[in-house]
């Protein structure tokens, strides 16, 4: 296996070479086979552990805790096993992820092998270590983008996307259901009529649940009359309507929604809304981070008093 220099690893991880040497000296996060007096050379497994430490630090862990996590977390597939897997799969090896971290690469390997148990295990481990939102950003989304690009280039890999999406839906749905929430007025999440994409709604439900926000996920392809009935029944704090395709982004629906007391904020999400004219009070949320932050702020604000008789 190729061995990388300190400078090469520093460039790959986006940190200073001196930081790598400090991590090795203080916390034992360094080349597994470094001989005194020799230049440090890092294997793929060494780099994977450094990525674990870096990710943990980025999400608030202390250096000592991050090092302990990086050293104790099992790597998904040893080098020899990975080589065997790729040989057996031939041209079905995982999609290239040159700039992705350990979490994404491990997930890509498991998904390409159609190993649903491994995919779910890796998702749960990442959520425990990084949280739902970071798991989506650094692990799931890069793999889905790479799979989509591979399908566009070669017409292959749709079975990988289906398996990964099903596993993500199951894991994130279970997380949302099991996480206690504290807000009193719920948030409604729904896909526009005709839109079959449910994964963004499932993931957003989980990230909001981890912020303590009570959600009512109405799923994809929700008819307009069902949406109106849900709004009247729940008097939500906020509503998010997802549209993946421009054909399903209907601005007329936004102006026809019922009014409630107290009122609710309307958010839209998904690439289908790009360029669609909407009212000034309608906010387009362009990323999971933005959606989670904006909806949490609205849902956590004190409810205005109801008007008197």
Q: Which residue has the tokens 């566009």?
A: 152
pTM of the model: 0.70
Distance CA 81, CA 193 (A): 45
Q: How confident is the model at residue 77 (pLDDT cuts 50, 70, 90)?
A: very low
Instruction: Specify whether domain 6-72 bears CATH 3.90.400.10.
Output: no
Which of the pair, 149 or 177, is modelled with greater confidence?
177
- Parse the chain into domains and list their residue ranges: 6-72, 79-177, 181-300
* Residues in contact with 118: Cβ distance below 8 Å, sequence separation at least 6, in sequence order: 76, 110
pLDDT band at 81 (very low <50, low <70, confident <90, very high): very low
Fold of 79-177: 1.10.1240
For 206-220, what is the HEC assignment? HHHHHCCCCEEECCC
Closest CA to 191 of 168, 238, 224, 165: 224
Q: Are strands 238-242 and 215-217 parallel, antiparallel or unpaired?
A: unpaired
Q: How confident is the model at residue 234 (pLDDT cuts 50, 70, 90)?
A: very high
Closest CA to 76 of 107, 52, 51, 50: 107
- Would you state the pLDDT for residue 103? 79
The alpha carbon of residue 126 and the mean position of all alpha carbons in its chain are separated, in whole angstroms, by 10
Could you give the CA distance from residue 164 to residue 202 in angstroms, rounded to a whole number?
14
237: DSSP letter: S
Of residues 171 and 40, more confidence is placed in: 171
DSSP structure string for the chain: ---B-HHHHHHHHTS-HHHHHHHHHHH--S-TTPPTTS---B-HHHHHHHHHHHHHHHTT--HHHHHHHHHHSPPSS-HHHHHHHHHHHGGGPPPP-TT--HHHHHHHHHHHTT-HHHHHHHHHHHHHHH-HHHHIIIIIHHHHHHHHHHHHHHS--HHHHHHHHHHHHHHHHHHHHHS----SS-EEEEEPTT----HHHHHHHHHHHHTT--EEE--SS--HHHHHHHHHHH--SEEEEE-SSGGG--HHHHHHSPP-SS--EEEEESGGGTT----TT-EEE-SHHHHHHHHHHHHHSPPPPPPP-
The fold for domain 181-300 equals Rossmann fold (3.40.50)
Task: Give dist(CA 251, CA 256) in Å, integer.
Answer: 9
Residue 271 has pLDDT above 80, yes or no: yes
Give kind and range of the element (H or E) at residue 236: none
In tens, the pLDDT along 125-163 reads: 889 888 898 899 888 999 998 898 888 888 888 999 999
């Amino acid at each position: 296996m190729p061995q990388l220099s300190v400078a090469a690893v520093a460039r790959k991880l986006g940190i200073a070479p001196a930081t790598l040497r400090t991590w090795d000296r203080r916390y034992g996060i360094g080349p597994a086979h470094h001989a005194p007096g020799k230049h440090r050379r890092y294997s793929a497994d060494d780099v994977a552990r450094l990525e674990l430490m870096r990710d943990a630090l980025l999400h608030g862990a202390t250096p000592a805790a991050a090092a302990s996590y990086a050293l104790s977390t099992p790597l998904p597939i040893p080098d020899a096993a990975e080589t065997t897997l790729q040989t057996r799969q031939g041209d079905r090896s995982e999609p290239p992820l040159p700039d992705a971290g350990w979490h994404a690469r491990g997930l890509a390997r498991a998904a390409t092998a159609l190993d649903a148990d491994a995919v779910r295990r890796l998702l749960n481990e990442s959520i425990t270590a990084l949280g739902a939102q970071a798991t989506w950003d650094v692990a799931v989304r890069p793999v889905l983008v790479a799979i989509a690009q591979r399908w566009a280039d070669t017409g292959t890999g749709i079975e990988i996307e289906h398996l990964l999406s099903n596993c993500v839906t199951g894991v994130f749905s279970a997380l949302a259901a099991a996480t206690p929430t504290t807000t009193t007025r719920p948030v409604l999440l729904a896909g526009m009529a005709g839109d079959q994409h449910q994964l963004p709604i499932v993931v957003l439900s989980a990230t909001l649940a981890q912020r303590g926000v009570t959600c009512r996920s109405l799923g994809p392809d929700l008819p307009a009359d069902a949406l109106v009935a849900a709004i009247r029944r729940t008097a939500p704090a906020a509503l998010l309507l997802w549209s993946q395709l421009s054909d399903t982004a209907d601005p007329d629906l936004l102006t026809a929604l019922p009014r409630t007391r107290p009122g609710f904020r309307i958010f839209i999400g998904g690439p289908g809304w790009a360029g669609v004219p909407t009212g000034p009070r309608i906010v387009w949320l362009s990323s999971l981070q933005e959606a989670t932050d904006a909806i949490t702020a609205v849902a956590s604000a004190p409810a205005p008093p109801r008007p008197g008789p």
